Structure 1
């Protein structure tokens, strides 16, 4: 929020509102309507770079945590329960694109499936709804760090790495049993809670590395290779050939990405070339991952 914008009321989180919080107080519908009007005005004036909303649904927004290819992430508080939540708000532009609409609808369907799933190794989805015409997910807020960050802080033993990946694998398996495919499994999409719990996050919210009409490396002329948002959801270095070429994936794509991420974590090098899309495809077609360097990691893990 810029210095010249109104400061949100500490009691309501709605700009310009001055209600005092009384015992048993709950936000009024008028407060929500005011926020919707303000959000629409911000969008009209500033587009997608408008100031962060102060409320999303019944949640008071505390901070903006980050953004990805499909939307923004906020820290919110469910005031009815006094519970912190992570809120993922889909970008308004995706609701208008043909490919984006399909992705948003898939997101809503899979989020509802995840909401019915309760597993210690999967971030819990509490709510799927709309705010001012934009889809949002209210999810469990996990305090901690990503598995990717944990791996970067210091050298880790192979057994410690394997233990965390085994837990993440259990979460993936539970999601697959519920009919949900991740499409972008990697260490950065696994959270390590402060209490040691391992949680797989960002199901259906994969970053779109190859966007609609966005040329992949190799030029942007008439012959440049292109991929649609729906057909190339994920991170290229973890994609199997089927996902890279057609985008039609099932649980096996997650299993492939899981193995690539585990290989990188154990041996600090990728199993396949990642210099370009073409090099990646050639390596996958050859179907020969790089033999890992000698290390303390048991060779039996490589054979698996």
Structure 2
């Protein structure tokens, strides 16, 4: 089984990442789109397949997996997919990565067929720029192929799967003997020795460049074993030999990347990028526009419909109330005798009258007691509200009624009440959020001194965006997202893919915010924030040996601060850079300082006239200028006086030659 047990769609991983859909499945992992509910942003989550996390090598795999993930996360380059987090889900390790809106290079290859030279150079250049940052921190990708090269919606390259290929391949080789990676792009040393080198990544880049231009890889076979054999034992054919229209510098560069021997290739991606930039400047517009054949037309993208599901509402049943009245029956006893009948009639009539009076009094007293203590006299009835419609036979709540209107009814009926206020996102200001009792017809007891309680809406809570949130020096400005959350805003839109590099605004500070600082708005109003990523990382150009003007231009394009000093040089021509304070290829950032030492050329002096001076004085004068002195006395040296000198007085000469040796002045003395 390759995927996690049970589809995780809809589940929340680590109480933070809600899985929304499956993006893709590969040999090592399944990739899902998810929402980071803590930061409200889309991310991609790669969950490793179960067979890579089981068996005796699990601990070794997990250790390497996290180590390589940390290494990849340390790479700062816009052409690298960022790694945000790692964790474990159902016993399977996962990576949380930047979600890239776009397609992979394989999709684009299938769509366009072949690429122009210009587009190939641009894409390969961005890939090399990303790899240069990785190689600079000791990370080797090992699985460069079109599927791992993403093109975002602006067409820019972002490389994915850093660190994963290396960790996965080591674990798999140890357990199953399988060789991971796509055979069409594997370097010979990877196949033979499982040796991961920066040059191996360059080999894969070269194969991709070959394929982008030609529309197919240089080695093809239905059998992966045969293809692997070709990579190890055959040279990649020159692209220009099969397609003469391809500019020769392009073909030669690809041949250099795909050399069978590691030593035949550039040392790393930074060197390869410099070589690419060097020859690209010499290509003509016609050469840059060259394309082998025409690719297929782009196909339209379909949009899936979204269905709404409505839940049915059930009506309450109304049960009839059955009332039964039961009466007691009696029978009169007949008596005999006239006297009894005559005498008994008045007494019986009086008894009946008195009994009737007593019964009426008892009924009246009992009825009053019932009405006052148990019946309607013992409670108030919750009245209806004029602005809330009630349905006959159904419970009717006073929720949503305007309290100012309902309060007049309460005062007329004499029902005691208390109120409190709360903010509400759904109830209009001044309406009833809740009441107790809450339904029309409910009772409020008089005997227990009960009162009605109401919660009245204050409307949607209003909050003010901190006025200093765009001030990077303030506490709010140093953590703008946290400041908004602390203020109470509940809908903060911060898309990290839209954050911008800046020389002026520190990393993490506000570039822009909408609505503006100081605005008072609903707490659930969406606050859109763009933050600074700080100065952009750049690679130090190789400026040694270039003219000062060229060096300043290159460093200016990299937005580096430059200072230059000048000194004499016996070996470097005037106006060219002797050295820089930062080594070429070093990763810097916009605004970093670089110092240059520029040659003033060889130091020159004017030979003074020392004729007529004593030998010692003349020698001292010339050596003070850095010159060497040779004494010639063909007629003897009686007076020690200089009569002739070579070079002649007034001549401009170098103080030293290209080897640093001082120029010699020959003095002829007598």
TM-score band, normalised by shorter chain: 0.7 to 0.9
- Range with greater deviation from structure 2 (94-103 or 162-171): 94-103
Q: Which has the larger radius of gyration?
A: 2
Could you tell me how far apart the structure 2 residues matched to 1:100 and 1:69 are?
Answer: 17
Is 2:115 aligned against 1:159? no
TM-score normalised to the size of structure 2?
A: 0.34
Residue in structure 1 matched with residue 102 of structure 2 by the alignment: 144
1:233 CA displacement:
2.3
Per-residue CA deviations over 1:235-273 (Å, capped at 9, x if unaligned) read 111112221133222222111111111111112232235
Q: How big is the shift at 1:49? A: 4.7
2:153 matched to 1:194?
Answer: yes
Q: Are 1:84 and 2:31 an aligned pair?
A: no
Q: Displacement of 1:192 after TM fit?
A: 0.6
How many residue pairs are counted as aligned between the two chains? 246
8 Å CA contact 1:168–1:198 kept in 2: the answer is: yes
Q: Is contact 1:52–1:64 with CA below 8 Å preserved after alignment? A: no
Q: Does residue 50 of structure 1 match 2:6? A: yes
Query: What is the deviation of 1:74?
Result: 0.8
Query: Within the alignment, does 1:246 sit opposite 2:179 as a pair?
Result: no
Partner of 1:270: helix, strand, or coil?
coil
For residues 256 and 187 of structure 1, do their structure 2 counterparts lie closer, same or farther at Cα, with a shift above 3 Å needed? Answer: same
Q: Say whether residues 1:303 and 2:255 are aligned partners.
A: no
Deviation for aligned residue 1:103: 4.1
5+ unaligned residues in a row in structure 2: which ranges?
Answer: 254-670
1:264 corresponds to 2:222 = no
- Structure 1 or 2: more helix by fraction: 1
Cα deviations by residue, 1:71-101 (Å, 9 ceiling, x for unpaired): 1111011111111000011122211134565
Deviations 1:194-222 (A, max 9, x none): 0222101112334989x969xxxxxxxxx
Q: Secondary structure at the match of 2:196?
A: coil
Which deviations, in whole Å up to 9, do the C-alpha atoms of 1:4-45 show, x marking residues without a partner? xxxxxxxxxxxxxxxxxxxxxxxxxxxxxxxxxxxxxxx9xx
Question: For 1:99-142, what per-residue CA distance to the aligned partner results, in whole angstroms no more than 9, with x for missing partners?
Answer: 56544432221111122222100000001122232211110000
Contact 1:147 1:192 in 2 (8 A): yes
Deviations 1:117-174 (A, max 9, x none): 2210000000112223221111000000111211221243121122011101111121
- Give the drift of 1:227: 6.5
Q: The residue matched to 1:69 in structure 2 has which SS?
A: coil
**Residue 99 of structure 1 contacts residue 228 of structure 1 at CA under 8 Å; is this kept in 2?**
no
2:164 alignment partner, SS class: coil
Displacement of 1:56 after TM fit? 1.6
In structure 2, relative to structure 1, the CA distance for the partners of 1:277 and 1:227 (3 Å cut) is farther
Maintained 8 Å contact 1:60/1:79: yes
Deviation of 1:278 after TM superposition, in Å, equals 4.4
**Map of 1:105 onto structure 2:** 63
Distance in 2, Cα, partners of 1:295 & 1:179: 38
Alpha-carbon shift at residue 66 of structure 1 (Å): 1.5
Equivalent position to 1:65, from 13, 16, 23: 23
Change in Cα spacing, 1:110 to 1:97, as seen in structure 2 (3 Å) is: same
Retained in 1: the 8 A contact 2:186–2:231? no
Quick check: 1:72–1:91 contact (8 Å CA) kept in 2?
yes
- CA positional deviation for 1:177: 1.5
2:227 paired residue among 264, 280, 300: 280
Query: Which is further off, 156-165 or 265-274?
Result: 265-274
CA-atom RMSD, angstroms? Answer: 2.9
Q: Which residue of 233, 237, 242 maps to 1:290?
A: 237
> Which residue of structure 1 aligns with residue 131 of structure 2?
172
1:115 aligns with 2:62: no
> In the alignment, what sits opposite 1:235?
182
- Is 1:183 matched up with 2:142? yes
For residue 195 of structure 2, give the secondary structure of its aligned residue in structure 1: coil
Match of 1:255 in 2: 202
Call closer, same or farther: CA 1:93–1:268 in 2, change over 3 Å.
same
Question: What corresponds to 2:496 in structure 1?
Answer: none
Higher relative contact order (CA 8 A, sep 6+): 1
Q: 1:212 to 1:156 in 2, by over 3 A?
A: closer
SS across alignment from 1:249: coil
Q: Equivalents in 2 of 1:227, 1:267: separation in Å?
A: 35
1:204 to 2:163 alignment = yes
